[in-house]
Amino acid sequence: MTYCVAIKLNAGLVFLSDSRTNAGLDQISTFRKMIVYEKPKDRFMVLLSAGNLSISQSVREILQTEQLKDTPKSKPITIWNASSMFDAARVLGAAIRRVHDRDAASLKHAGVDFNVSMVLGGQIKGEGMRLFQVYSAGNFIEATTETPYFQVGESKYGKPVLDRVITPQTSLDEAAKCALVSMDSTLKSNLSVGLPLDLVVYEEGKFKTDKIVCIDENNPYYKMVHNTWGQRLREVFDSIEEPMWNGGKTDVPLVVPSSRSKPLKKITSEKEKLI
């Protein structure tokens, strides 16, 4: 499995992915789930992938040469000449459908679902930054102000911190920190996600970045995030009052009268009926 997260902010974009792939308890491998497409002064794009590794690798390979034509006489559209991120997402969708047409029947015959999820984000000269999540059918949705991030793979463990922290106004450094906390929470709860991690931070309007890092278990910043997050969570938990069952001096009693519902009834004999 895998976990990838991409965040769209007013200031730029943040991308983070793990690199673990497993096909059983004793078959664990490392494959990168992120690829960067950069053409300085013209375009910058990042692709994240989750799902069946053979499918995602095929899509990434085909994407390099995939072309779209809106009409027979129109100029072919590729990720390298697309005039908008929307068109680049269309090219990615077409690449996924091409792999589906080629491999889906054989995979189904072998009992394997056609399963791939991808996130494509970036900026092309002439428009603002955009972020898309692309599904197995090649269709896609775009990130909005209300939903400024996308996750693919094992998303549930890392989602709560993103929901509490990320807004379009969040700074790039704060978003990168939040993404790493989100990943650390996932690593703690799911063995199918693992190090090393790939982190890319892109600043709006630059069309290139040098903020690319591979993070392993020896990375000092990640070790600090891991240790501090766990320690502070425990401190916050310990600061919450414990429930008081038999009265006592507290401003937050647990057992209080309720006009809406009654406590669960206990059955105390074999003859007693449930109500």
- Given a cut of 80, whether residue 104 has pLDDT beyond it is yes
Please report which confidence band the pLDDT of residue 275 belongs to, taking 50, 70 and 90 as the band edges: low
The pLDDT of residue 249 is 80
Domains parsed from the chain with CATH numbers: 3-233 (3.60.20.10)
The pLDDT of residue 251 is 85
Distance CA 143, CA 128 (A): 13
- 90-104 burial by CB neighbour count: b if 16+ within 10 A, else e? bbbbbbbbbbbeebb
Question: Do you find a cis peptide bond into 263, omega within 30 degrees of 0?
Answer: no
Distance CA 33, CA 16 (A): 9
Which residues, other chains included, contact 86 with Cβ-Cβ below 8 Å and sequence gap of 6+? 130, 132, 142
- 230-249 burial by CB neighbour count: b if 16+ within 10 A, else e? eeeeeeeeeeeeeeeeeeee
Instruction: Select the more confidently predicted residue: 245 or 180.
Output: 180
Please report which confidence band the pLDDT of residue 268 belongs to, taking 50, 70 and 90 as the band edges: confident
**pTM for the structure as a whole:** 0.93
The one-character DSSP state at 77 is B
Going by C-alpha positions, the residue among 130, 109, 112 that lies closest to residue 121 is 130
